[in-house]
Structure 1
Amino acid sequence: MRHYWLLVLLAIFSDCVWAQEPPDRAGESFHITVFHESKSEEETGSSSSSGRHEYIERIVAIRNEGVERVFDITRQPDEKSQLIDWQFPVRIFEANDGKMEIVNRGDMEARRDAWLEAAEIPFEACGTWYFTWNAFQVECDPEAILETVRRINIQPENLEDGASFSHPAAIRPGSLQKLNDVGSEFRVRMVVDEEHFHRSAAQNDVIVGEIMGEPITFDEAYERRTVEQITGTIEVILTVSESGRVAKQVTSIETTKIKIDGKEERSVSNEVIERTET
């Protein structure tokens, strides 16, 4: 239980403390966990999936222009795992305007080439998909890891009541709402962007077609998907630590899809990202 005097101070200074992102310091490290689960229901039955990932983040340098960080994963001791996970560790410079640049690209490309050689995968196979217990892509582009880094960056640029907050699946940004006096929790609700889900489903159709040997272009798949009607909401809850950093982000997306045959499919997905100082 926190001491009473600390709660009083937090309440008094909440407007000035929580509204700003705390300064980064070289040498700081964080443990990031990502847990996601989803469930879909329709007349013919239901399906579900879940997964968990862990990352390590270290701040290695602070410059006037931005921050340099290293991201890695918790590794298995075997050599095969190290080869497959060639994208890590990745060293990234994040400029003050949010742009990211990979610093250790040469090291990543050398690890990628070693993985391709050990797995006897020709470079021409880069970008293709295959299926074992799940669908996997032969990823060879170092830049692809930036999408993962952006996803696990849960600290918004502006953390205060009424601040704008965006989500890639939302049709427009929402406004953060402070849920308590000390500003330790914020919530935002948004409406889903139907086109985002059409494009995502079309891309999945392309992947499935490639794996099954029944290729389809993205434009063809997208045209089929646009017939579907999709509505829904997105809710994000941010939990802020005493240091002023977002320590937890919970994202819940609920959608209802009306398919071309008129059947209804309801889906719920939840994602929890936690970032704790180590």
Structure 2
Amino acid sequence: MLRFAGLLTALLAFSAEASAQQAPPTDRPGDAYELELRVRTESQSTNGSSSTSNSGGALVERVVAVLPEGLELEFDLPADTTPAERARDWQWPARILWSESAPARLLNGPELEQRIEVWLKTGEIPREACGRWFFSWTAFKIECDPNAVLETLKVYNLRSGAHGIEAEVDPDAVRREKAETDVVVGEITGTPVTLEQAVAAHASDQISGTETLVRESDPQGRPIRQVRTVRLEIITADGVVEQSTSTQTVTRTPLQAP
């Protein structure tokens, strides 16, 4: 899949293990929701640089079956997706088993494998390119692992996880995220750097900040909106102060009355 692979994933994750929540009792086959994602990141530093970026996406979540072990859910692109747009993304539709007591599990992996093969052939992409990073108008990774869909869905997940929380960021997690970003940039620019080298370069960074997550529900208790905000301040070894705010908003709208 040619898509920006979410370099802020670790940054936006809580340092503590999120507590699972019980699936809403109103779930039944046929229920459907539109999931809209919006991410806004603003940053500035004392060296005079600043930036603002906006990104997002949309999926449709459908309840396929209510099973003793959890919910069978299907995630697909919106109905107005064109054939050309769908051809660029092999991940959808994806079916998963969701449970409040176990990690999500991909149910149609073989189907995704077949779509990956067609996608590579159609795009004339050699299998050897899988896992590598490139740059056009943004950074993207040639993703060929069916289970990568589970990482994508974590961003859209409003069914489980802690909420109504404010916590301090984990400096080590932020350092590693910055180091992984450096490795990707090095691969794209042709100036490779190892992860060990990148980690060492950020070892003396002074990192502080907060992570907050607020979730809203409708009168029936169904989650309808979630806002996750990360505010960071990083003082680098040469004294440059970098400040950033990332806000990730997911809106969940019923497509039909449950």
Interval of TM-score (by shorter of Structure 1 and Structure 2):
0.7 to 0.9
SS where residue 142 of structure 1 aligns?
coil
Q: What is the CA–CA distance in structure 2 between the aligned matches of 1:241 and 1:188, rounded to whole Å?
A: 19
Could you tell me which amino acid in structure 1 is paired with residue 248 of structure 2?
Answer: E
- In the TM superposition, what whole-angstrom CA distance separates every residue of 1:18-49 from its partner, at most 9, and x where no partner exists? x9642221110010001010111112121111
Q: 1:126 aligns with which of 112, 127, 130?
A: 130
Q: Which residue of 2 aligns with 1:239?
A: 216
Q: 1:252 aligns with which of 229, 242, 245?
A: 229
Q: 1:102 aligns with which of 87, 90, 106?
A: 106
Q: 1:77 aligns with which of 82, 85, 106?
A: 82
Q: Which residue of 2 aligns with 1:142?
A: 146
Q: What is the CA–CA distance in structure 2 between the aligned matches of 1:272 and 1:95, rounded to whole Å?
A: 23
Q: How does 1:163-174 map to 2 (within 5 A)?
A: 165=162
Q: Which residue of 1 aligns with 2:205?
A: 228
- In the TM superposition, what whole-angstrom CA distance separates every residue of 1:215-270 from its partner, at most 9, and x where no partner exists? 11111111111221110011211111111022111111111100110111111111
Confirm or deny that 1:30 pairs with 2:30.
no
Q: Which moved more, 1:99-108 or 1:64-73?
A: 99-108
On the 8 A contact 1:252/1:270 being kept in 2, the answer is yes
Q: 1:213 aligns with which of 190, 196, 210?
A: 190
Confirm or deny that 1:59 pairs with 2:63.
yes
Q: Which residue of 2 aligns with 1:276?
A: 253
Over the matched positions of the two proteins, sequence identity in percent amounts to: 35
SS where residue 147 of structure 2 aligns?
helix
TM-score under structure 1 length normalisation: 0.80
On the 8 A contact 1:67/1:94 being kept in 2, the answer is yes
Q: What is the CA–CA distance in structure 2 between the aligned matches of 1:107 and 1:128, rounded to whole Å?
A: 23
Q: What is the CA–CA distance in structure 1 between the aligned matches of 2:59 and 2:218, rounded to whole Å?
A: 19
User: Are residues 216 and 156 of structure 1, via their aligned partners in 2, closer, same or farther at CA, if it must alter by over 3 Å?
Assistant: same
Q: Mind listing any 5+ residue stretches in structure 2 that lack a counterpart?
A: 1-20
User: Are residues 118 and 20 of structure 1, via their aligned partners in 2, closer, same or farther at CA, if it must alter by over 3 Å?
Assistant: closer
Greater RCO structure (CA 8 Å; 6+ sep): 2
Could you tell me which amino acid in structure 1 is paired with residue 240 of structure 2?
Answer: K
Q: Which residue of 1 aligns with 2:178?
A: 201
TM-score under structure 2 length normalisation: 0.86
Q: What is the CA–CA distance in structure 2 between the aligned matches of 1:21 and 1:274, rounded to whole Å?
A: 18
Q: What is the CA–CA distance in structure 2 between the aligned matches of 1:96 and 1:134, rounded to whole Å?
A: 35
Could you tell me which amino acid in structure 2 is paired with residue 258 of structure 1?
Answer: I
- Alignment length (residue pairs): 232
SS where residue 131 of structure 2 aligns?
coil
Q: What is the CA–CA distance in structure 2 between the aligned matches of 1:51 and 1:32, rounded to whole Å?
A: 14
Q: What is the CA–CA distance in structure 2 between the aligned matches of 1:227 and 1:207, rounded to whole Å?
A: 21
Q: Which residue of 2 aligns with 1:117?
A: 121
Deviation at 1:83, TM superposition (A): 2.3
SS where residue 99 of structure 1 aligns?
strand
On the 8 A contact 1:83/1:111 being kept in 2, the answer is no
Q: Which residue of 1 aligns with 2:10?
A: none
Q: What is the CA–CA distance in structure 2 between the aligned matches of 1:147 and 1:243, rounded to whole Å?
A: 28
Q: What is the CA–CA distance in structure 2 between the aligned matches of 1:76 and 1:238, rounded to whole Å?
A: 28
Q: Which residue of 2 aligns with 1:173?
A: none
On the 8 A contact 2:171/2:208 being kept in 1, the answer is yes
Q: What is the CA–CA distance in structure 1 between the aligned matches of 2:70 and 2:114, rounded to whole Å?
A: 27
On the 8 A contact 2:228/2:248 being kept in 1, the answer is yes
- In the TM superposition, what whole-angstrom CA distance separates every residue of 1:137-162 from its partner, at most 9, and x where no partner exists? 000000011012122111336xxxxx
Q: What is the CA–CA distance in structure 2 between the aligned matches of 1:101 and 1:21, rounded to whole Å?
A: 16
- In the TM superposition, what whole-angstrom CA distance separates every residue of 1:139-187 from its partner, at most 9, and x where no partner exists? 0000011012122111336xxxxxxx3xxxxxxxxxx6xxxxxxxxxx3
Could you tell me which amino acid in structure 2 is paired with residue 34 of structure 1?
Answer: L
Q: What is the CA–CA distance in structure 1 between the aligned matches of 2:22 and 2:133, rounded to whole Å?
A: 43
Q: What is the CA–CA distance in structure 2 between the aligned matches of 1:114 and 1:20, rounded to whole Å?
A: 38
